[in-house]
Amino acid sequence: MVRPLGLKSEKFKSLAHGDRRRRLDAPPPLPFDLRDHKISISIFVFLALAECCFLPIGLYYGLIYGSNLRMGLIFAIITSLFGFVSGYEFGLRSWRIMRYGDDFRPLYGSQYFRGFDATQYVLLTPFTVMTIILIIFSIPHNPSVKALSLPMPVGMINLGLMFIVNGVAAQRRWRLMHFRLSSHVRNTVCPPLTFVFMEDICAVDGRGGKKYRKAALARYNASPQFRTLLMEVLWFWSISAVVIGAALATVIWFVSDHVAWSLGWGVPSLWALVGTWLTILWVQRGLRIEKATWTPVQANQV
């Protein structure tokens, strides 16, 4: 008798690898085009920047120089607005997974709360840490400006370290023994989190559903160049996040309060914007290379 875990693993391998005899004349297509979502992406980026950069910096200087409020009240106002975009987006994708059920959940997943994808759990960790920092250090009558400048750098370090650990696991082809990463079930080779984020965000936030998850797995398993590209992007984001986050967390304690606040809430957003722009150029170049060097042979599975 095949155990449920073994059955899921066999179904995953069958779907991901497909027909090994099938000739692939081009990389398996992905049924999702970012250009079709330009407006919604632009709105989200603007709101995210407002939450993580514009509002904290604008309110800080505006309330300090334009009001007589004590520092405790100023930071109470600022911290109360943190998370209004990320929290809404987090709740919305949770609702989609729970409300609309099977089509938005990872392949071969649970029908209950465990059916959340890996992106939900991975992003919850830095978001929780950042929120705790804001709550704890905004409680005193005279809060520490420098301590309240740390949430974004600490979040960068937190996420970057998770990416590095995952990168080592994916590079060494370790197997997922105790948990799954979205559609990659237990006992399969650990995928890079860049693939996991791509799969989950396009499937849930982009409403690609299971059709996209299946196509993404087919592309990932058929294309060595695609897998290499995802690993390169993972190392770029993980290393830069840890290095820049650690540098900011250190410098903040050696500058004035005003400079610390501007650095802590301004530089991470600048890093994210520049990193996103470089990633777009990088991925476009990588996909062109993948297409140009593709040979019509059988899929090269992991």
17 is a domain residue: no
Single-letter residue type at 270: L
| Percent of the chain whose pLDDT exceeds 70 | 87
DSSP state of 252: G
Q: What is the per-residue pLDDT for 165? A: 97
Residue with tokens 């919305």: 92
Question: pLDDT confidence of 289, banded at 50, 70, 90?
Answer: very high
CB atoms within 10 A of CB 292: 8
Among 98-112, 174-188, 249-263, the range scoring the smallest mean pLDDT is 98-112
The range of the structural domain enclosing residue 50 comes to: 35-292
Report pTM.
0.87
Q: What is the per-residue pLDDT for 90? A: 86
Contacts of 254 (CB under 8 A, 6+ apart): none
172 is a domain residue: yes
Half-sphere exposure for 202 (CA within 13 Å, toward CB): 21
23 is a domain residue: no
Question: pLDDT confidence of 2, banded at 50, 70, 90?
Answer: very low
219 is a domain residue: yes
* Count of the separate structural domains present in the chain: 1
299 is a domain residue: no
- Which tens digits make up the pLDDT trace of 24-67? 778 889 988 888 888 988 999 999 999 999 999 999 999 999 98
- In the predicted model, is pLDDT for residue 111 greater than 80? no
- In the predicted model, is pLDDT for residue 21 greater than 70? no
Q: What is the per-residue pLDDT for 295? A: 80
53 is a domain residue: yes
> SS3 helix, strand, coil % of the chain, rounded to 5?
70, 0, 25
Cα 271 from Cα 183, distance rounded (Å) = 30
Calculate the average pLDDT of the chain: 87
- In the predicted model, is pLDDT for residue 20 greater than 50? yes
Q: What is the per-residue pLDDT for 269? A: 96
Residue with tokens 């040979």: 295
Length of the chain: 302
Q: What is the per-residue pLDDT for 110? A: 60
75 is a domain residue: yes
Tokens of 19: 């027909």
Q: What is the per-residue pLDDT for 174? A: 93
178 is a domain residue: yes
